[in-house]
Chains A and B, each alone.
Chain A
Amino acid sequence: DAKTTQPPSMDCAEGRAANLPCNHSTISGNEYVYWYRQIHSQGPQYIIHGLKNNETNEMASLIITEDRKSSTLILPHATLRDTAVYYCIVRGSNTNAGKSTFGDGTTLTVKP
């Protein structure tokens, strides 16, 4: 699985959009980008995934660059409850692709 690079920490004002970047320059053509978040003392929570098209769900939007070497997770109206560690990972498209490899993520702090 390709490795990802994320900033260790970011701040965001409550009510504003939070834009979390991720670099995955060695991503392969069949690898998806996944985002999870982890609130203190809980297990990670799946947020969204995508291959090359932008994706949106009730939690967030995922913007993937045309060359697929980077992506941005967007939380459109951040709340204090969005304070968490956000992990970006890449994983093969084969459903037998095995494990997902987590880095250290980005700690997002939403401030009032």
Chain B
Amino acid sequence: DTGVSQDPRHKITKRGQNVTFRCDPISEHNRLYWYRQTLGQGPEFLTYFQNEAQLEKSRLLSDRFSAERPKGSFSTLEIQRTEQGDSAMYLCASSGDSMRGYTFGSGTRLTVV
């Protein structure tokens, strides 16, 4: 069990550019979650997959955000035309069929300048 991996750990981008983050969940986990966290706040839910199906999206996930999980394995989160307000930590988590809690990755810290 290598845990949940997220890449990159840090990303600095100019406003208006597109960015893509990757998450590799624990291999036997069928559920994958994306959260966003700003300084001093708890994680905010963005979206959730069960296998390859995207089952829920937060209204926080504007049209500029898109997430995929092809083949039910790794997932990508893309932000188009980034804005300064997108600066945050983007967290990925995965879970299996048991009621045990999520396993989170270390996150990708995005800074939009």
Complex Cα spacing A105 to B91, Å: 17
Complex Cα spacing A34 to B99, Å: 10
B44 contacts partner chain A, Cβ-Cβ < 8 Å: yes
A104 contacts partner chain B, Cβ-Cβ < 8 Å: yes
CB interface residues, B 87-105, toward A, < 8 Å: 91, 93, 97-105
Contact indicator B104/A43 (Cβ below 8 Å): yes
Chain A residue contacts of B101, Cβ below 8 A = 34, 36, 46-47, 49, 100
Contact indicator A93/B42 (Cβ below 8 Å): no
B65 contacts partner chain A, Cβ-Cβ < 8 Å: no
Contact indicator A87/B42 (Cβ below 8 Å): yes
**Interface of chain A: mostly helix, strand, loop or mixed:** loop
Contact indicator B45/A99 (Cβ below 8 Å): yes
Segment at the A interface, from B12-20, B48-56, B73-81: B48-56
CB interface residues, A 73-112, toward B, < 8 Å: 85, 87, 93, 95-96, 98-105
**B42 and chain A: residue at smallest CB distance:** A102
Interface contacts beyond A99-B48, A101-B45, A102-B43: sample of 5 additional A-B pairs, CB < 8 Å, sorted by A: A43-B104, A43-B107, A85-B42, A99-B33, A100-B33
B111 contacts partner chain A, Cβ-Cβ < 8 Å: no
**B101 and chain A: residue at smallest CB distance:** A46
Chain A residue contacts of B107, Cβ below 8 A = 42-43
Contact indicator A104/B41 (Cβ below 8 Å): yes
Complex Cα spacing A93 to B100, Å: 11
Chain B residue contacts of A44, Cβ below 8 A = 43, 91, 93, 102, 104
Chain A residue contacts of B50, Cβ below 8 A = 96
Which of A32, A85, A101, A103 is close to B99, meaning CB atoms less than 8 Å apart? A32
Complex Cα spacing A60 to B106, Å: 22
